[in-house]
Amino acid sequence: MKRQRIFKNILTFLMISALAGCMINSATEKERQQSHLNVLILMSDNHSWNHLGSYHDPVVKTPNIDRLADRGIKFTNAFCDAPSCTPARAAMLTGQHIWRLEEGANLWGTLPSKYPVYPEMLENAGYFVGHQGKGWGPGNYEAGGRDRNPAGDKYESFREFLSKRKKGQPFNYWFSSQNPHRPYDQNAEKAGINPDSVRVPPYLPDNDIVRRDIADYYAEVEDFDKEVGSFLGILEEMGEIENTIIIVCSDNGWQMPRGLANLYEFGTKIPMIISTPESSAGRVVSDFISLNDLAPTFLELANIPIPEEMTAKSLAPIIQSKKNLKIDPERDFMVTARERHAFVREGGAGYGGRSIITDDFLYIRNYEPEQWPAGDPPLYGDVDAHMLHYPSPTKMFLLENRQKRAVKELFDLAFEKRPTEELYDLSKDPYQMKNVANLPIYYETQKRLSDKLYQYLLATEDPRVVGGEMKWIESEYFFPSDKKPTPSKSAQEKLNLKEIYIYLDEE
């Protein structure tokens, strides 16, 4: 009897152990599935935050993106790190500010291999990683010691990418659209967009030329929405949509005067929608976030340690929250930066600047106020078409009519030199057209924001504050033809331009 009781007790123990093991394994598997969600980034190119239906633009039609916003999270204060393609994408990949990335701070530069990027970290953890379109760039990744684009292997299509992954393998895919980057291949007439319905921001002239230009831009935004729809269709077809985090965003602001390559909101503020497998029922979050925050977010959701050098913060707590509007009290400002955009000044000089923005104010510090912020005249190449080599109707109108009374103020805002400090009261001046820096009534605000910006740059080791080598200043620009700009025949005739300009001394 005693032997039978011992055997029975052992059997009971084994059954309980087996059951516990199954429960543990089940929990582990569930945790593994939750922490290995697919990630799909759908990025537009040169697209400001407010030009989507879900961001209350009354003209542009973006039903696919709006559907994602209805089931996901819409961020109303999302920013890129720099208003320029290459550095904004480098900062996103590394989770670090551009001033920490040496040559990575520039357009047409490189990204040194010593800076880890999240696609490689995900790949090392078992993810299948790839990109389509630009990914990181434009630039020369080999010059930084890399053997492929920092975004991972390149694919011609999402279907090709999915066909090559192992069954059940989590993936991270980044689609970089060419829309709505100039030149605009789509046009408003073909898309059925009426230029008369367009809202023209007050920093641009309100006329038929500008309205048609914005309408053509809208047509390309609508093309991007169609691309988003095609990706959603593939996910649904493959049965992956309920296991995928989908991010819709852009890399920087629109390609208009005071947009791209500027630290005003129209250059740095972007749309950001994150749709997760668990519906968030159309949440709206007003915390200040950055494109850079995606890197630590992906790592945390995949249970991968976040490198200490990442200055960005994971969005996981916000994604997992059920709240709207303000969630994290520390996310009450954003710092952005610019260095060299295009090769548009004598000797290839850049235009260094830093900004800090809150709900109420935008403060900008320009480090080279003696330089032309829009590039040397007469091409002003940091605005729109840098060589005037393809159609840029709004820029051309401003250049052609700069002496007219109704245009001169807008021309000066876009192209003329700027002071060391700029301050804009967003509650009174949402389009940032009146610089109130140095006005006595704003003295305390200006000092407070200047100090806060300085302390942030100090803490994140910006060489412009802490000293040290600023490798972006004389780093190579890997597109030699830009050093000898050749304006289009049309631009030459309309503006009485030379056939070619030389920004670099002949050796």
Lowest mean pLDDT among 13-22, 55-64, 108-117, 383-392: 13-22
Q: Is the pLDDT of residue 23 over 50?
A: no
CA separation for the pair 265, 334 (Å, rounded): 11
* pLDDT interval class at 506 (50, 70, 90): low
- pLDDT of 17: 38
Q: Is the pLDDT of residue 16 over 50?
A: no
- Half-sphere exposure (Cβ direction) of 96: Cα atoms closer than 13 Å: 24
H or E stretch including 174? strand 171-176
User: Cα dist. 299→13, 314, 315, 503 in Å?
Assistant: 39, 8, 11, 43
- pLDDT of 281: 80
CA separation for the pair 346, 304 (Å, rounded): 45
Q: Is 423 exposed, middle or buried (0-12, 13-18, 19+ CB in 10 A)?
A: buried
Query: Mean pLDDT across the stretch 171-190?
Result: 94
Which is more confidently placed, 408 or 36?
A: 408
Q: Is the pLDDT of residue 449 over 50?
A: yes
- pLDDT of 34: 45
3-class DSSP assignment, residue 228: helix
* pLDDT interval class at 279 (50, 70, 90): low
User: Cα dist. 13→2, 3, 9, 10, 18 in Å?
Assistant: 17, 15, 6, 5, 8
- pLDDT of 209: 97
CA separation for the pair 431, 259 (Å, rounded): 11
Q: Is the pLDDT of residue 26 over 60?
A: no
Query: Mean pLDDT across the stretch 348-364?
Result: 98
CA separation for the pair 268, 335 (Å, rounded): 10
H or E stretch including 290? strand 289-290
Lowest mean pLDDT among 22-36, 325-339, 358-372: 22-36
- pLDDT of 230: 98
Is 351 within 8 Å of 373 (Cβ atoms)? Answer: yes
Q: Is the pLDDT of residue 462 over 70?
A: yes
Q: Is the pLDDT of residue 12 over 90?
A: no
What are the φ/ψ torsions at residue 465 (nearest 5 degrees)? -115, -45
β-bridge partners, 128 = 171
* pLDDT interval class at 202 (50, 70, 90): very high
Is 108 within 8 Å of 479 (Cβ atoms)? Answer: yes
Residues in Cβ contact with 228 at an 8 Å cutoff, skipping those fewer than 6 apart:
42, 64, 65, 68, 248
- First and final CA of the chain: distance in angstroms? 102
CA separation for the pair 98, 86 (Å, rounded): 10
If one counts every other C-beta atom within 10 angstroms of the C-beta of residue 255, the result is 25
Which is more confidently placed, 380 or 504?
A: 380
Lowest mean pLDDT among 18-27, 211-220, 419-428, 481-490: 18-27
Nearest to 151 by CA among 473, 161, 82: 161
Which is more confidently placed, 10 or 255?
A: 255
* pLDDT interval class at 424 (50, 70, 90): very high
3-class DSSP assignment, residue 208: helix
- pLDDT of 504: 80
Residues in Cβ contact with 149 at an 8 Å cutoff, skipping those fewer than 6 apart:
131, 135, 136, 137, 141
Is 251 within 8 Å of 270 (Cβ atoms)? Answer: yes
Q: Output the CA torsion 417→422→427→431 (10° steps).
A: 20
Q: Is 401 exposed, middle or buried (0-12, 13-18, 19+ CB in 10 A)?
A: middle
- pLDDT of 2: 36
- Half-sphere exposure (Cβ direction) of 234: Cα atoms closer than 13 Å: 14
H or E stretch including 141? none
CA separation for the pair 267, 259 (Å, rounded): 4
Architecture of domain 35-331: 3-Layer(aba) Sandwich (3.40)
- pLDDT of 36: 77
What's the one-letter identity of residue 125?
Answer: A
CA separation for the pair 451, 264 (Å, rounded): 20
Q: Is the pLDDT of residue 321 over 70?
A: yes
- Half-sphere exposure (Cβ direction) of 359: Cα atoms closer than 13 Å: 9
What are the φ/ψ torsions at residue 153 (nearest 5 degrees)? -65, 150
Q: Is 506 exposed, middle or buried (0-12, 13-18, 19+ CB in 10 A)?
A: exposed
Lowest mean pLDDT among 24-33, 100-109, 145-154: 24-33
Please, what is the average pLDDT of the chain?
A: 92
* pLDDT interval class at 1 (50, 70, 90): very low
Q: Is the pLDDT of residue 437 over 50?
A: yes
If one counts every other C-beta atom within 10 angstroms of the C-beta of residue 312, the result is 22
Domain spans of the chain? 35-331, 337-495
What's the one-letter identity of residue 285?
Answer: V
Is 381 within 8 Å of 344 (Cβ atoms)? Answer: yes
Is 97 within 8 Å of 81 (Cβ atoms)? Answer: yes
Query: Mean pLDDT across the stretch 209-231?
Result: 97
* pLDDT interval class at 72 (50, 70, 90): very high
Is 339 within 8 Å of 306 (Cβ atoms)? Answer: no
Q: Is the pLDDT of residue 13 over 50?
A: no
**Tens of pLDDT, residues 287-296:** 999 999 999 9
- pLDDT of 185: 85
